[in-house]
Amino acid sequence: MHPTKSTRTQVAIVGAGPAGLFLSHLLHRQGIESVILEHRSREEIEGTIRAGVLEQWVVDLMNDMGLGDRMMREAHFHSGITLRFDRRSHHIDMAELTGGKRVTVYAQHEVIRDLVSARLEDGGTILFGVSDVQFHDLEGKTPHVQFRRGADGPLEELRCDFVAGCDGFHGPSRQAIPAATRTEYQMVYPFGWLGILTEAPPSHPELIYANHERGFALLSTRSPEVQRLYIQVDPKDDIANWSDDRIWSELHRRLEDDSGWTLTEGSIFQKGIIAMRSFVCDPMRHGRLFIAGDAAHIVPPTGAKGLNLAVADVAVLSRALAAYYKSGTTEGLDGYSATCLRRIWKAERFSWSMTTMLHRNEAESPFEQRVHLAELDYLVHSRAAMTALAENYVGLPME
């Protein structure tokens, strides 16, 4: 079928998650035009509850781009995290171990709100609610993306120089890389996270990651009035099996230590279960298509890396595109996949190691379970080990 309308931009971006939105801002700063095609509505993307922790360089980037005002007012800046196991608490002072890099808690949907409103104010184009996105001529000279506005608008065509696939794990862009030319690495974990939002004051000044024989638990925050907490559950469990009382009872048991500290309860106004996997697609390019963020890789959330990794990919991509438009060089574009994958594999390793160290895996032998406790014990008593954790948690340097 022939499209009824044809428009043109330099970079067609599919997906208005962190990857797509950061990319459109970074390109705009370099004078490069883009159009974002987003399947969901603005309200939906601004209301989806996901990640919470920003690496220091992402905070710095938001500020450099002039997008950090609300974050600097409303985010929580912690010097470190608390690791809890064997009913004892251990503070890891990330800032002290990394020369001042802090843990910033600022919810993903707040980042999305800030980036969407600034992009629209700048005159940028984000088309929400598009459907039927299809890629054409990715290997040729006239790449274009076809789509419809709304569920059944007429077919339109967006011609471009490059396509950025920032459409998350379930989006179509990764599938546009021929199966024969891509390798997918995957590991699915036998646990998931049940996450809640509760109306309560903070119970603790910083995040608590707890290893407990009943399973992992995590205490995080969102605001002086709203707290975010997670517990390890069976990924196939039904949220209907989890009454508020049962959730609080597990949180108390898993989070409490011998210091007399207690968890403050509140009303639970949001709850859900997510499964956990590690996934990497190599390469992240096919012709003029470049995939970024969750479209190319997934980490289990324990290391708080998902959002940060998405931003890292598009930082590399925007640099490569800027060099191409400035001088015609394709060196950055040709190296895109390899450059990103070096950081991605380090984040995969870190997220996998935090996940296996902190969760209870019933399929593991008692020997393996004791090894995780020994690892934690070593970690909190070795400055070298704590420094390694801190460097990874606050974000490895960008290449």
Query: Under the rule (CB under 6 A), what is the footprint of ligand FAD?
Result: 14-20, 37-40, 45, 50-52, 108, 130, 133, 166-168, 171-172, 274, 293-295, 301, 304-307, 310
In angstroms, what is the minimal distance from the CB of 15 to ligand FAD? 3
In angstroms, what is the minimal distance from the CB of 49 to ligand FAD? 7
In angstroms, what is the minimal distance from the CB of 232 to ligand DHB? 12
Bond before 154 cis per omega within 30 degrees: no
Query: In this complex, which beta carbon is closest to ligand FAD, that of residue 120 or of residue 374?
Result: 120
Ordered DSSP codes for 372-397 = HHHHHHHHHH-HHHHHHHHHHHH-PP
Cα(257)–Cα(172) distance, rounded to whole angstroms?
46
In angstroms, what is the minimal distance from the CB of 384 to ligand FAD? 26
Q: Which residues pair with 251 in a beta bridge?
A: none
Q: Which of residues 279-308 bind ligand DHB (CB under 6 A)?
A: 301-302, 304
For residue 302, the partner it binds in ligand DHB, ligand FAD, none, with Cβ less than 5 to 8 A by kind, is ligand DHB
Asked if 278 interacts with ligand DHB (CB under 6 A), we say no
Token pair of 53 as six digits: 């922790």
Rounded to the nearest 10 degrees, what angle do helices 56-64 and 306-327 cross at? Answer: 50
Find the binder of ligand DHB among 220, 227, 278, 392 (CB under 6 A).
220
Which ranges constitute the DSSP H helices of 285-382? Answer: 306-327, 331-358, 366-381
Q: Which of residues 36-55 bind ligand DHB (CB under 6 A)?
A: 51-53
CA distances from 237 to 116, 171, 269, 339 (A): 34, 25, 19, 38
Single out the catalytic residue among 305, 324, 336, 359: 305
Q: Is 209 a catalytic residue?
A: yes
Q: Is 393 a catalytic residue?
A: yes
- Shortest CA distance to 94 belongs to which of 304, 356, 306? 304
Chain residues binding ligand DHB by CB under 6 A are: 51-53, 105, 207, 218, 220, 228, 301-302, 304
